[in-house]
């Protein structure tokens, strides 16, 4: 769990830069596409717009308020020009040197609707290819229970729009992953490591499904079979941790 202090913020900046490099290495994005964020209490640290991941530095990471309002100590109102994003506000004393990701509204909407501690948005090829031809990623493998079940494809809406944020949140209901048609995917988790692992899992599942289609119409796991897997996974986690699953569990 992160704290809204300078140590937590510094750690988040470094972690976001590190995972940004992984987005390229793992083939989940190219150039500066995609974006990732971490929640720290009522703040969100998010990758900037238009800076290639290969060149990103910790000081380039942007900080915005989760609720879109000016935090205490900032100018009361009237500071925002007409048409400005309602959620691009900067906490006082943490002035961003770069512009926050264009998908900041989508990240903030997901934090508002879930208990996410981190959000990963990718432009990964397997999910984009699937999104152009299928309404969802079906249960080709039982590991999809780690994402809450079959992953929906949200309708196409222009990047950076409030409409896209709303579509993503709606399609995330009961899931920790959503595919955005002709665009990419979003996953969330209790922390960046879990959100990122889910992005990798989602891409792997989409690739596995595409491979399975080579053999004809593949067998898909039923809801009952997935329920059985989820129950067994919970039972084993209870045994290991002797506590309930964390908030990141779908
Ligand atoms: Zn995008």
Instruction: Write the CA distances from 177 to 77, 148, 173, 241, integer angstroms.
Output: 36, 8, 9, 25
Residue pLDDT, tens place only, 172-200 = 999 999 999 999 999 999 999 999 999 99
Catalytic position from the list 80, 85, 103, 126: 103
- 106 vs 161: CA distance, rounded Å: 8
Scan for tokens 């929640």, then name that residue: 39
Local confidence band at 130 (pLDDT 50, 70, 90 cut-offs): very high
Q: Which two tokens stand for residue 147?
A: 């994402």
Average pLDDT on 112-140 reads: 97
pLDDT given at position 94: 64
- Clarify whether 103 is annotated catalytic: yes
Left, alpha or beta for 151 (phi > 0: left; psi -120 to 50: alpha)?
beta
- 174 vs 184: CA distance, rounded Å: 19
pLDDT given at position 32: 82
Q: What does DSSP assign to residue 216?
A: S
Local confidence band at 246 (pLDDT 50, 70, 90 cut-offs): very low
Q: What does DSSP assign to residue 54?
A: G
Average pLDDT on 41-47 reads: 94
Q: What is the dihedral of CA 16, 17, 23, 29, to 10 degrees?
A: 100
Local confidence band at 96 (pLDDT 50, 70, 90 cut-offs): confident
- Is 72's pLDDT higher than 70? no
- Is 250's pLDDT higher than 70? no
Asked if 202 and 152 count as a contact pair (C-beta separation under 8 A), the reply is no
- Is 86's pLDDT higher than 60? no
- Is 244's pLDDT higher than 90? no
Residue pLDDT, tens place only, 144-176 = 999 999 999 999 999 999 999 999 999 999 999
Strands 118-122 and 136-137: unpaired
Average pLDDT on 43-57 reads: 92
Ligand 1 centre distance from Cα of residue 110 (Å):
15
43 strand-pairing partners: 40, 65
- 115 vs 39: CA distance, rounded Å: 10
- Is 215's pLDDT higher than 80? yes
pLDDT given at position 157: 98
Q: What does DSSP assign to residue 218?
A: P
Ligand 1 centre distance from Cα of residue 165 (Å):
11
Local confidence band at 241 (pLDDT 50, 70, 90 cut-offs): low
Ligand 1 centre distance from Cα of residue 106 (Å):
10
Ligand 1 centre distance from Cα of residue 3 (Å):
28
- 40 vs 94: CA distance, rounded Å: 14
What burial letters (b/e) apply to 175-189, b meaning 16+ CB within 10 Å?
bbbbbbbebbbbbbb
Model-level pTM?
0.85
- Is 75's pLDDT higher than 60? no
Local confidence band at 67 (pLDDT 50, 70, 90 cut-offs): confident
Scan for tokens 């792997």, then name that residue: 204
Ligand 1 centre distance from Cα of residue 153 (Å):
14
pLDDT given at position 104: 95
Helices (H), the chain: 6-25, 104-113, 125-131, 162-171, 192-213, 223-241
């Amino acid at each position: 769990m992160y704290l809204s202090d300078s140590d937590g913020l510094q750690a988040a900046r470094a972690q976001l830069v590190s995972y940004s490099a992984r987005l390229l290495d793992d083939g989940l994005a190219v150039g500066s596409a995609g974006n990732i964020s971490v929640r720290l209490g009522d703040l969100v640290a998010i990758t900037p717009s238009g800076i290639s991941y290969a060149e990103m530095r910790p000081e380039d990471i942007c900080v915005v308020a989760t609720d879109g309002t000016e935090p205490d100590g900032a100018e009361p109102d009237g500071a925002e020009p007409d048409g400005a994003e309602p959620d691009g506000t900067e906490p006082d004393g943490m002035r961003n040197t770069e512009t926050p990701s264009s998908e900041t509204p989508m990240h903030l909407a997901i934090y508002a609707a879930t208990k996410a501690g981190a959000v990963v948005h990718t432009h990964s090829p397997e999910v984009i290819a699937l999104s152009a031809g299928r309404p969802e990623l079906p249960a080709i493998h039982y590991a999809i229970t780690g994402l809450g079940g079959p992953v929906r494809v949200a309708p196409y809406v222009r990047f950076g729009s409030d409409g896209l944020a709303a579509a993503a949140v709606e399609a995330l209901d009961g899931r920790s992953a959503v595919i955005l048609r002709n665009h990419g995917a979003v996953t969330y988790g209790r922390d960046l490591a879990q959100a990122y692992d889910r992005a990798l899992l989602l891409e792997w599942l989409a690739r596995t499904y595409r491979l399975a289609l080579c053999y004809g119409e593949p067998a898909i796991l039923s809801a009952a079979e997935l329920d059985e897997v989820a129950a067994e996974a919970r039972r084993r986690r209870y045994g290991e941790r002797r506590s309930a699953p964390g908030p990141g569990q779908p």
